[in-house]
Structure 1
């Protein structure tokens, strides 16, 4: 798969990827109903479309010409030296093939002025935490409101850049 900037034509496939990945990852933690509510809100077409034009951000997909196997979205904070990795998801069928690492590397390259890459991850998502730690992230705290507005607790991880 190759990594490229997402476009309007990718939104339907990105939404499918996010819904399927969220159910595979979080149904056992939050339940099917709650995951459906979250994906209907956070991963709606309107929400995804807004990311395409958000200033100081990067919206990427991993694409093999037949399917979207992964996606990532990151945005600069009010401090341009700190970038927030809002999303990085790889479809369960495509995991452990280097796609997540490729997306992460491209996000890092997209913000050359950044010195810190920060993210929030559900503390029960052990495989995601292991992935991020294997890619240089370290614990930096906790939040009671993952993503701002969810009311879900999360671990905050950071990676020093440059």
Structure 2
């Protein structure tokens, strides 16, 4: 099994999207089936992680979409966009396939995203309160809980989330 050093972070391309979608579906089921149930996770994933949704993110202005690649497979992905005239980064997605979690890939993805927006002063994200692994990861990176959302991502799925922030 590859170590984190075998992975490099690069900008995603359209040819990566089917593999990224599969990674997201696997990761979401692994993480959220116990919280929301498999059917609900499939419904959300079909909307948020469709090829059309991923394609739109790839083309979104003032954003960065990166993957962790080892030349054979993609082990993780991250997507972020700026707001407030580029002063704030909103980290929309950072996922590492369950098979590769705990190997530094998430840290490498986060570091790349943070460096992509040199004018930014703050980075924010939303995380499911019951996702203790993600919360611990972000808290290790210096994120602090700043509030709550009743609709994570504003996508109409009524998913509660914690809002985290930290300086860049």
Where on the TM-score scale, by shorter chain, does this alignment land: which range? over 0.9
CA distance in structure 2 between the partners assigned to 1:147 and 1:34 by the alignment:
16
Alignment partner, residue 18 of structure 1: 24
Return structure 1 stretches of 4+ with deviation > 4 angstroms.
none
CA distance in structure 1 between the partners assigned to 2:127 and 2:85 by the alignment:
21
TM-score (norm 1): 0.98
Matches within 5 A, 1:2-151: 2-148=8-154, 149-151=156-158
Aligned-pair CA distance for 1:78: 3.5
3-state SS, counterpart of residue 133 of structure 1: helix
Alignment partner, residue 163 of structure 2: 156
3-state SS, counterpart of residue 147 of structure 1: helix
Aligned-pair CA distance for 1:79: 3.8
3-state SS, counterpart of residue 97 of structure 1: coil
Aligned-pair CA distance for 1:128: 0.1
Aligned-pair CA distance for 1:150: 2.2
Which stretches in structure 1 are left out of the alignment for 5+ residues?
Answer: none
Deviation readout 1:25-72 (Å, 9 max, x if unpaired): 000000000000001000000000011110000000000011100000
Deviation readout 1:115-152 (Å, 9 max, x if unpaired): 11000000000000000000111111111110002211
Root-mean-square deviation over aligned CA pairs: 0.7
Aligned length: 161
